[in-house]
Amino acid sequence: MSASPLIEQLIQALKCLPGVGAKSAQRMAFNLLERNRDGALHLSRVLHDAMEHIRNCERCRTFTESTICHICDDPRRAESAQICIVESPQDVIAIEQTLQFKGRYFVLMGHLSPIDGIGPSELRLDVLQRRLEDEKIDEVILATNPTVEGEATAHYISQMCEKQGIAATRIAHGVPVGGELEYIDGNTLTHAFTGRRKF
Amino acid sequence: MSASPLIEQLIQALKCLPGVGAKSAQRMAFNLLERNRDGALHLSRVLHDAMEHIRNCERCRTFTESTICHICDDPRRAESAQICIVESPQDVIAIEQTLQFKGRYFVLMGHLSPIDGIGPSELRLDVLQRRLEDEKIDEVILATNPTVEGEATAHYISQMCEKQGIAATRIAHGVPVGGELEYIDGNTLTHAFTGRRKF
């Protein structure tokens, strides 16, 4: 060890950030010490506040510092009577950026994975069940990831919807816009063919 | 904006880290919230402590949370009567890792750059001058970067040493070990030729 103990601690602590190894952590530590102590102090405060105060929204389970997130709290969002099921809060951000969806969300914070001990109760599907019973919902849009676990999760939730007599739809899988057929995997191409629509 | 205000603040604050843009900051924020809240709280505390307590060593100007850094504080380090001049604390770490140098350092925290208003007083060459006068020093090793500013800084300090009658040496420039001549720039090759030694 050739840096001071506190600098070593800082370098070690920065390695908790995803994608940051020993070399990047060292660069970050010295960069902050040399050039941006105010920014680092601000980051320290915000990090603390965020970790202490951000919990899951009681209605849709996304991250928020309030009891109910700002999307669930928006009365205009109830009008569409649609609810979109996603795996993570980042998916909500991605969908919100398209400006296409005006309904509410339910964030699973994962997907069904029995091998990891993640079942319906870990995903709080009981909360979703209550929403399906209590709220006016016409359509459940299943926007879980197109992976084996995501598909299984979508299938499980579609059965919950069926019992309640609510229509469940799955987002389309196919060739990404701007993609070239040549480079698309066979599985996606099969989806693109079976899911073809009238032109 | 589609994340909650506090999450947006966290994403913005993470962008103060070097090499972290909007997308990486978002990934870091959610990764910490989902998987590593303890690590993030620890990082918050260490960041605060480091920014509040780490100052420059009174003797060599490197970063330390003590008045005198652990290298300056080590009596065995005085025995070699050598002092190595570097531009940044990272350079000290790099040199320490070679295990070759057993003397003390002086860290300039930059280089002479009149255009940016950085002169001898900003580099605290007055502190270095006092050390040259007070300490038993036989050799000053100039290990500033091989850039125009680094060379100018080395030249300036070599003149300070001359006035004190202390030998000043410059680290060797040449072909990096493991490098191939074909890919070395002409300037470095010129240095390698003029600096050749008996085999």
Q: Between B194 and A57, where is the model more confident? A: A57
Q: Is A67 on the interface with B (CB under 8 A)?
A: no
From B152's Cα to the closest Cα of chain A, the distance in A is 22
pLDDT digit string, tens, across residues A140-188: 999 999 999 999 999 999 999 999 999 999 998 888 888 788 888 888 8
Q: Is A73 on the interface with B (CB under 8 A)?
A: no
pLDDT digit string, tens, across residues B45-99: 999 999 999 999 999 999 999 999 999 999 898 888 899 999 999 999 999 988 8
pLDDT digit string, tens, across residues B104-160: 999 999 999 999 999 999 999 999 999 999 999 999 999 999 999 999 999 999 999
The mean pLDDT of A51-71, rounded to a whole number, is 93
pLDDT at B27 (0 to 100) = 94
Q: Is A15 exposed, middle or buried (0-12, 13-18, 19+ CB in 10 A)?
A: middle
pLDDT at A1 (0 to 100) = 52
| Whether the Cβ atoms of residue B42 and residue B50 lie closer than 8 Å to each other | no
| Whether the Cβ atoms of residue B63 and residue A2 lie closer than 8 Å to each other | no
A44, B48: Cβ pair inside 8 Å? yes
Q: What is the DSSP letter of A182?
A: G
pLDDT at B181 over 90: no
pLDDT at A71 over 60: yes
How is chain B split into domains, by residue range?
63-170
A4, B63: Cβ pair inside 8 Å? yes
Chain B residue with CA closest to A16: the answer is B39
Which CATH class name applies to B63-170? Answer: alpha beta
Interface of A with B in 121-140 (CB under 8 A): none
What residues are paired with B106 via a beta bridge?
B85
pLDDT digit string, tens, across residues B5-53: 999 999 999 999 999 999 999 999 999 999 999 999 999 999 999 999 9
Output the DSSP codes for B28-39: HHHHHHHH-HHH
Phi, psi of B63 (to 5 degrees): -75, 135
Q: Is A96 on the interface with B (CB under 8 A)?
A: yes
Which chain B positions have a beta carbon within 8 Å of A89's beta carbon? 3, 7, 30
Q: Is B70 on the interface with A (CB under 8 A)?
A: yes
Which chain A positions have a beta carbon within 8 Å of B43's beta carbon? 13-14, 16-17, 44, 47
pLDDT at B1 (0 to 100) = 52
Average pLDDT along chain A: 92
B52 vs B71: CA distance, rounded Å: 21
Interface of A with B in 26-45 (CB under 8 A): 26-34, 36-37, 39-45
From B158's Cα to the closest Cα of chain A, the distance in A is 26
